[in-house]
Structures are given as structure tokens and as C-alpha cells.
Amino acid sequence: MNKLILNFKSKDTKKIKNSKNFLGGKGANLSEMGKMGLPVPPGFTISTKVCEIFYRNKKKLNLKLINQIKKELKVVEKDVHKKFGNLKNPLLLSVRSGARVSMPGMMDTILNLGLNDKTVIALAKKTSNGRFAKDSYRRFIQMYGNVVMGVESYHFEELIENYKLTKGVLLDTELDEEDWNGLIKDFKNTIQEKTGKIFPQDVYQQLFGAISAVFLSWESNRAKVYRKLNQIPSEWGTAVNVQSMVFGNMGNHCSTGVVFTRNPSDGSKDIYGEYLINAQGEDVVAGTRTPQYITKKAKKEAKVKEASMEESMPKIYSELNKILKKLEKHYKDMQDVEFTVENNKLWILQTRAGKRTSKSAVKIAVDMVKEKLISKNEAVLRIDPNFLDTLLHPTLDEKSSIKVIANGLPASPGAASGKVVFTSEEAERLNDMMQDTILVRLETSPEDIQGMHAAKGILTARGGMTSHAAVVARGMGRPCVSGSSEIDINYDKKIFKTSLVEVKEGDIITIDGSTGRIILGEVPTVKPEISGDFSRLMSWADNIRKLKVRTNSETPLDTKIARDFGAEGIGLCRTEHMFFDEERILSVREMILSKTQEDRAKALKKLLPHQKKDFMEIFKIMHGLPVTVRLLDPPLHEFLPKSEKEISEVANVVGADLKEVKTRIDELYEQNPMLGHRGCRLGISFPEIYEMQCRAIFEALSELKKNKQRFAFPEIMIPLVSTEAEIKIMKDLVIRIAGQVEKENKIKVDYLVGTMIELPRAAVKAKDIAKHAEFFSFGTNDLTQTTFGISRDDSGKFLNDYINNKIFTIDPFISIDEGVEELIEIAVSKGKTQNKHIKLGICGEHGGDPKSIAFCSEVGLNYVSCSPYRVPIARLAAAQAELNKKKI
């Protein structure tokens, strides 16, 4: 296939593999509709390959391409019996972008190309409609002036508004031919004034200028932002579609519109769209005129008087309806269709898969299986797993009026309103009084865990999508907006400022964790529905996938939520989070600051019943399923008091003077705690801590078994192991404590002992570690940090620069990096070599990322584990990974 430019009717399109990659989505669909016998205006597609050549050739079209375009133009002239630039019967063109995937509104379009001071006269004579011809010309000048010559649209809009004011009219349609004549002159003068250039009269100069402008719009700021948000590669480029014009603005027998084959908001099987009589396509989307509804039903529901298309153009409506059914049946998906009616003749200008809400996406997929249009497998593959995020959380009622005062990162989905508080204590206090709060912090720390749980939502000025606030909020199912550099927090005055307002403690705000918006006042929310179609889709996914899905959870509430969402166990129960409870933190601090082993044992004895109670609750909820309990991981200083009041409180409890306690706190301070005295290193130095935790686990299990209650299967996970000796010593400790509890209770306890692979050395030496481990769980958060030498909490300061400079294509804390993948592959291979029955899982934040889940499926892991609200996402992504493996 050497042809770079193809006519819509060309037989060569059949030879193209992945035609959307070459012709773009729009070009491929126009070609397909032509083959289906639908009324498509003749034209041709300039392929995405030409876009690549254009940028290589210093953003210019070479002579060979120019000649090919002229050659294809001759074919269109022959089809429509018109000539480009002819002074009797001129051919007019539309020039539109067409990327592989739909990027609505992101790139440029030019209509009515080929009009100039002479051809406009020919068009007026040919149509016997001078007003229409002049209206078409001014539209072309306006679009060309903006898109190709860079004149801001508002300059043209101001001129139109001034004309309407002078005439005392409201609508563009009330301006006559003379008005348009005056505006054409004013538009051309404005272009010359703003650019120093004359509006081109040469139609070929117009054409090649427009094609170049569409290629250049691929690199416009809005297109770049859209690509980044939707992870569309910049190297794809765009195609350009050159098509003969059809006119919806020649009179009252003409119209233009956009219609969906189903309702894109709720997924119901109703045609949904809008049209305008005597208008061009951009009038529908520009908002300069209020469109009318396509169907009588929609008109009735909206309670408007203007006639629907079904009433005003019944024959055209009937024909359109048949075409819509044909298109949906052919493409087996909801279609978004643009059409024009020229003198009672219907033309289809474009079809594409329609954008839809997450709720409607699920409904449409399930309905199409019922209608036997697609299979269950196709339905599962069709839903973007990340779409489900918004289905599982309350969302803002978009019908409400809102005042956005700032924006941040959409760190955890859902919407929440509440009183602004600046401390965790205040969040807890107001929560006890049944008052909703939004916790506003510069950044959160593990000590804020109670406040985060008490608050309805979290807002931070610092931190990225994988910051502490983001990760914990997602785990709790709390909405969170993080890293809002637009807010300036003053803890002393208990206020935060934005460029628009000053917000005091107690004022009510709303945060939208799905978009990053911060809104003044309370906004009503809409509760999610997770039964019906959603449950049906999930059941299909569960029947397909082989990868098990667990959850990261350490509270009975989160465990219950995860179980309801279909979690098949707990892949990470972080025991340290249980220590931050107000009742327990003093005992933890007492234990850490104790001088002797005897004093430490006393403090640990106080903690034992609390831990045991938590484990009993979790084991009951996860009856019959595995629960992986990670023994204490963070460095001890994270639990220590920071304020004078807290230090005094601890000093009283441990019976020491203030100075002595402060000295001990200073001794425990670490320069680099993430790589310091934490994980199994604590277990080696202070084995009594791990002994207490293991005792709590086994006593909880024994009591449940003794009372014939429901219970889970515990897996004891040793954190931060890097050597064989560490895992051996820790495993011996676990076995010893289990034996003691069995002897005391005369009940056998079943359990596994394994480790978290979160250090590169552990991955490389996995064969040795596997001698003593019955499972590996990859802690990809720390494995990513230690592989790159990047702190997750500080990476937000430079990660965007790395992504912009294409050092990273995506944040490695969101999707597993290929270097980390290789370490996991090494560990899997070496671990299985030593122990072919070893269980393998992942428990970092990556466990809820669809791309990372595909890798986990490919490499042969047994399960992924993620925060409770991402469990359905992981279930769907695991099914898709399995189906995609079969395609290869």
C-alpha cells in the first residue's frame, strides 16, 4: 500500500489492516459507510502517514503530496459534477481532522472552503439565494481567519453582535444579504489588521493552508492536554478528511444536527439528539442558537414548544431512523452521527462510537448482549475498567449551580460536602456531633488517619496522585483532591485563600474527587447504583478471569465494603494502622519509649487485646478466605508524639521527665526512615513486637474456632526482607508463637508464612528467600521507590517534568514501570524454581491499575490486591487481561 491519500470509495481501503490507524477513525468510518450504500458526500482522506511526513518536512506539504491531493480532487469534481474554483458551478469543501480515536472539539475544522469574492457570486446565482451564499462566505472567512491565520474568534463574534444591535435583532438568521456583505468586508479588514496578511482568494492556497492547519492542530495545547488525560500517544498523528460540502443553511427545507443511536446519559434505547433548521453544523455545537429536539418524546420531556424533527420533517426523520439502526447493527455499538439535510435530501457526514457516561456504558453493553448484537466477552472488553470508579462513589448533581473556587488533582473519586476543618482532632470532634467535615491539610501523615476517617473528604495543598492522602483516601473510599497549589493554607488563622475567596474554618465547601474541583458551599450528590446491569457485567467478568482479586484493608468497615464489592480475601492488612486509634496510641508510645524489655512487654500486653479484637472482626467477615497480615512495617518514630501536650502526656504514662522523653524521641529520629529501622529489622531488634502481633492473630483464630464461629485463613507476611537469614529468623518466631498458642488452647491453627518482595535484592535473591516463604507478595510501592531511588511522597515536585520531557510516559507509581516488571519476573521465576507451589500476589497501589493487572496476569501471579473501592475495577481488568491473552 503506497497510496497515502485515498478516496472514500477506493477499493484499496479493503487492503489496509487497522484502517483506523491509517485513515483515522472518521476516514475509516466514511469509507465504511460508503461501502454500506449510505448517503455520504464524496471526498478523500489524507492519511496519518502524511501527518508524520508533514512534521518531518518542517511542517510543510511537499510537492508530491500536493499533486496527489489535486489528483484526488479531480475524482470528487467528477462525482459531484462541480469544479473547484469554477465561476459557474463551484465545488466547495469541508476540511476536518480525524485521529485514530475520537477527540471531540480538540482539533480544527474548516467549512465552505473554495469561496472567494468571485465564486460566492456563482454560488448565489446557482442557488438563487444571495443571502445563503454570503452567509456561507462570511462563515468560511471567520473559520479560516481563526484556524489558519490565527485571529481570535471573539473579534468576529463582536462584529456580528454589533450588527445585530444596530439592526435591533437577536438572531443571526435575522441578518440579510446586505448585512453579510458588510460583515464580509469587516472580517477581511480585521484579518489584515491583526495579521498584516490579506485573506487569500486563491482556492488552492486556501485548501493547502487548511490542510496544514489541521495537521498543526494535532500539536495545539488543547489537543496535547486531551491526549495526556486520555493516554493517547503523540506519535499517532491525525488524518485529514476533505469532503464536498452539503448545506443545511439554504432555507427552511434544510437542516443540520447531531444524533446518538441511544441516550448517552442513561443508556436507554432511545434516539437522542438535536437539530437546527436552516443552519450549518457548527451552529449546533457553538451554542449561538438553541437547537430543537429530534424526537417528540424528548421534546415532551423537555417541555418545549418548538417542533421536533419527527414532527417538522417526518420523511427525513423516518429515513434517518432507519440509517441509525443500520449503523448500530453494523458497528455493534452506540453511534454518534452528524447529518445535514440539503433541500430535503439527507446526508450522513460522520459516525463514530458515541462518548457516554460510565452508567450508560454498562447499560448499553449489557443491553446489547440481551439483543444478541455482541457476546458477553465483547461486553466485558468494551468497558474501560477505570470508568467503574465513578459508578462506585456519590457524584455531584450537575444540574445544580456551582461556584468553583480552585482546582487540584482528582486523587480519589466521589463528591463530598462539609465544614472546613484544619486538624484531625476537629474532624473527629464534629463527627461525634454528627457533622460532616472536609479535612484541609498542607499534606497528610499517618497520624491523620483518624481525622481522615472521620471526615467526609480530604483536600491537600501538596502531594500528587500517589501521595499519602491520595492512597489512604482511595483505600477508605473517601473523596480526595490533592496537590491544589491554588489554595494557600494558614493553620494559625484557620483559613485558606484562593485567588477568588477566603474560606474560614466552619465554612462549607464541596470537593469533587473525580475532577479535582473545589466548590464553595454545599452541592447535592447522586448516590451510585451498583446492582442490576453492573452486577450482571461483574458476574460475566468473574466467569472469565483466572486472577483472584483481594483487597488492602485493616478495618472491619473497609473489609465489609470490599467483601460486598466481591473481594476474595485480604492481600494486605497493615497492622500499624490499628495502632493509631486514640485508645492505643499511648500504649504504642509507651512501648517505644520504654527503657527495658520488661517495660516494653507491659505496654505490649495492653495492645494485645486490641489487636486480637480487630483480627477477630476481620477474620469473621472474610470467612473461608485468605487474610494476609503484614507485621509492623513503619519506623517507630512515625508513632511518636510531636506536640508539647502529647509529649507531656506520654512522659506521665511512662513515668519519665519531659527532657528524658524528648532525648529518646531525638535518638529515634532517622535521616532516611524509608530505608531505616523498619520492617523485619524492627522484628530482629525488638522480637517482642512481632511476638505480640503473632499471638494476637493466633489467639483470635483459636477463639473463633473454639466458639465454632466463622473464620478466615491467615497468611503472616514479613515486611522488608532482603536476605534469607531475615526470613528464616522471622519464620522461626512465627512458628514458635503459633506452637505456644496451639498448646495453650489445645487447638490446631492453620497459616502460611511469606514475605513482601519490595527491595531489588529480595527480587534477585528470591530463590534463597523462597526456601522459607510459602508466598511472595510484591509490594510495588516500595519496590518502585527502591528501584528508581525516588521518594513517592516527594515525586510530585518533578514527575510532571519527567512526563513532559518523555522520560516517563506515565507516573511509575500509577502503572508498573518496565524495570520493576523485570524484577518481578526474576523473582517469580526464581521463586518457582525453588518452590513450584509458592503463591504469588501483588499488594501495592498498582494492584488496582488495569495496565499493571494485565502484566500480573501475563507473568503468572495468583492474585492482585487493591483498595476496597477498586476491587470491581480489578475484577473487570483481570477478565480483560485473560481475554486479551487469548487474542495473542
Q: Which of 30, 476, 270 is nearest to 47 (CA)?
A: 30
The answer to whether 100 and 48 are in contact (CB under 8 A) is yes
- Cβ(153)–Cβ(146) under 8 Å? yes
| Whether residue 471 has pLDDT greater than 90 | no
- DSSP strand pairing (517-520 vs 508-512): antiparallel
Q: Which residue has the higher pLDDT, 555 or 689?
A: 689
Residue type, 420: V
* pLDDT score of 488: 93
Place of cell 458588510: 182
End-to-end CA distance of the chain: 25
CA-to-CA dists, residue 635 to 260, 308, 816, angstroms = 56, 68, 25
- Give the pLDDT of residue 791: 87
Does residue 866 have an active-site annotation? no
Residue partners of 390: CB distance under 8 A and separation at least 6: 357, 358, 413, 514
Bridge partners of 99, per DSSP, are: 238
CA-nearest of 529, 381, 486 to 850 is 381
Q: What is the pLDDT of residues 61-119, one digit of tens each?
A: 999 999 999 999 999 999 999 999 999 999 999 999 988 887 766 678 899 999 999 99
What value does the mean pLDDT take over residues 814-823? 96
pLDDT (0 to 100) of residue 189: 96
Instruction: Please list the residue range(s) of the chain that carry CATH number 3.50.30.10.
Output: 393-526
Helix (H) or strand (E) holding 866: strand 863-866
Q: Where are the alpha helices (DSSP H) in 707-817?
A: 724-745, 760-764, 766-769, 780-788, 799-804
Of 139-143, 178-182, 191-195, 797-801, where does mean pLDDT reach its minimum?
Answer: 797-801
| Active-site residue, from 468, 577, 772, 846 | 468
Mean pLDDT computed over 673-699: 94
Q: What is the mean pLDDT of residues 637-654?
A: 82
Question: What are the residue ranges of CATH 3.30.1490.20 in the chain?
Answer: 5-244
- Summarised one tens digit per residue, pLDDT across range 706-731 is 998 888 999 999 999 999 999 999 99
pLDDT at 475 over 70: no
Q: Is CATH 3.30.470.20 what the domain over 255-356 is classified as, yes or no?
A: yes
Residue type, position 743, single letter: K
Q: Which CATH class is domain 545-635+670-887?
A: alpha beta
Separation between Cα atoms, residue 372 and residue 332, nearest integer Å: 10
Q: Residue 641: which of 652, 632, 630, 629 has the closest Cα?
A: 652
Query: Is the confidence at residue 51, as pLDDT, over 80?
Result: yes
CA–CA distance, 723 with 755 (Å, rounded to integer): 11
Within 8 A by CB and 6+ apart from 316, the residues are 255, 309, 341, 344, 346
462 vs 501, residue with greater confidence: 501
Q: What's CA 357's distance to the chain center, in Å?
A: 13
With a CB cutoff of 8 Å and minimum separation 6, the contacts of 596 are: none
Active-site annotation holder among 51, 573, 843, 856 = 843
| Tens digit of each residue's pLDDT (9 = 90 or more) over 271-305 | 988 899 988 776 665 555 668 889 999 888 878 88
Which three cell numbers mark 486? 491554588
**CATH T-level topology, domain 5-244:** Dna Ligase; domain 1 (3.30.1490)
| C-alpha to C-alpha distance for 409 and 512, rounded to whole angstroms | 10
* pLDDT at residue 453, rounded to an integer: 85
Catalytic annotation on 843? yes
Residue 307: per-residue pLDDT: 92
Banded model confidence at residue 1, pLDDT cuts 50, 70, 90: very low
The conformation of residue 806, written as its DSSP 8-state character, comes to: T
Mean pLDDT over each residue of the chain, to the nearest integer:
90
Residue 659: CB atoms within 10 A of its CB come to 9
Parts of the chain belonging to CATH 3.30.470.20: 255-356
Residue 412: per-residue pLDDT: 83
Q: With the CA atoms of 577, 579, 582 and 588 taken in that order, what torsion angle do they form, in degrees rounded to the nearest 10?
A: -150
For residue 658, is pLDDT > 60? yes
Hey, how many other C-beta atoms are within 10 angstroms of the C-beta on 12?
A: 12
* Check whether domain 393-526 has CATH 3.50.30.10, yes or no: yes
Phi, psi at 117, each rounded to 5°: -60, -25
Rounded to 10 deg, the angle between the 177-195 and 153-167 helix axes is 150
Q: What is the dihedral of CA 473, 474, 476, 479, to 10 degrees?
A: 60
Q: Which is more confidently placed, 809 or 496?
A: 496
**Bigger pLDDT: 98 or 378?**
378
- Give exposure, 856-867, as e/b (b: 16+ Cβ within 10 Å): bbebebbbbbbb
Range with lowest mean pLDDT among 526-535, 837-846, 876-885: 526-535
Hey, what's the cell of 230? Answer: 486520555
Read off the pLDDT of residues 767-784 as tens digits, 9 standing for 90 and up: 999 999 999 999 999 999
Nearest to 468, CA basis, from 848, 813, 793: 793
* Angle, CA of 630, 634 and 639, to the nearest 5°: 120
Tell me how far apart the alpha carbons of residues 250 and 280 are, in angstroms, rounded to a whole number: 9
Instruction: Report the C-alpha gap between 97 and 490 in whole angstroms.
Output: 48
Q: Roughly what angle, to the nearest 10 degrees, separates helices 130-147 and 177-195?
A: 20
Q: Do β-strands 839-842 and 863-866 pair in parallel, antiparallel, or remain unpaired?
A: parallel
Positions of CATH 3.20.20.60 in the chain: 545-635+670-887
Residue among 848, 84, 728, 789 at smallest CA distance from 413 = 848
- DSSP code per residue over 80-127: HT-EET-SSSEE-EEEEEEESS--TTTS-EEEEET--TTHHHHHHHHH
pLDDT digits (tens, 9 = 90+) for 578-597: 887 777 888 888 888 887 88
Percent of the chain with pLDDT over 90: 64
Label each residue of 611-634 as H, E or C: HHHHHHHHHHHCCCCEEEEECCCC
* pLDDT tens digits, one per residue of 534-580: 999 999 999 999 999 999 998 888 899 899 999 999 999 998 878 87
